[in-house]
Amino acid sequence: MKRAVNLINSNLSSSIDLIIITGDITGSAQLTQYQKANEILSALQVPWIPLIGNHDTWPYTSIDEAETPIGDAYFGQVFGERIRSSKFVTDYPNMTAFDTVHNFNQNPQHIEITIDLGNTDAIIFGADWNTRMKALPGYKGNLGQADLNDFPGGALPWF
């Protein structure tokens, strides 16, 4: 990650307006990983916005695992203020929603980004389609797949 930040910073003459980090910011959704990523990414000399990925939802280590996928709450805790204060973000609910499929709370990380292109706008929807379904027996974290998250506050109703 540091290498990518240095490469971007050394090539700023190419007029970069915004960098969107497209998920999997952490390896296993631990708060310390989010904090370290934020520290590294904050060295970017251009605006940036992170999106959540499937590796970012269910915290675990080699010897421990969270009871439920609370990595999305960590994401909001670490990056929420940056996202809310970005001039490019037009919607970021960052709220708690009860997942009726898996029977626990989620903190879906939906982000709507609008970029002014002069005579029109580009709108990017960063809906949190990440499943919170538990990994198969013998594995930690969640499955690496998408999910409709069709409940109030989930991805499908937000989108």
- Residues with Cβ < 8 Å from 64, sequence gap 6 or more? none
pLDDT at residue 118, rounded to an integer: 87
The CATH number assigned to the domain holding 50 equals 3.60.21
Residue 45 in this model has a pLDDT that exceeds 90: yes
Query: Are 137 and 119 within 8 A, CB to CB?
Result: no
CA distance 79 to 96: 16
In order of 8, 28, 39, 45, 48, the CA distances from 5 in angstroms are 5, 21, 11, 9, 11
pLDDT at residue 124, rounded to an integer: 95
Residue 14 in this model has a pLDDT that exceeds 80: no
pLDDT at residue 103, rounded to an integer: 92
pLDDT tens per residue, range 46-70: 999 999 999 999 999 999 999 999 9
pLDDT tens per residue, range 21-33: 999 999 999 999 9
Number of domains in the chain: 1
**Both tokens of residue 35?**
């904090």
pLDDT at residue 125, rounded to an integer: 96
**What is the chain's length?**
159
pLDDT at residue 12, rounded to an integer: 80
pLDDT at residue 17, rounded to an integer: 87
- Provide the mean pLDDT of the chain: 94
What amino acid is encoded at 101 in this protein?
V
CA distance 142 to 135: 4
| Angle subtended by helix axes 2-10 and 31-41, to nearest 10 | 20
Domain extent, residue 34, equals 2-158
Residue 15 in this model has a pLDDT that exceeds 90: no
CA distance 143 to 67: 15
pLDDT at residue 129, rounded to an integer: 96
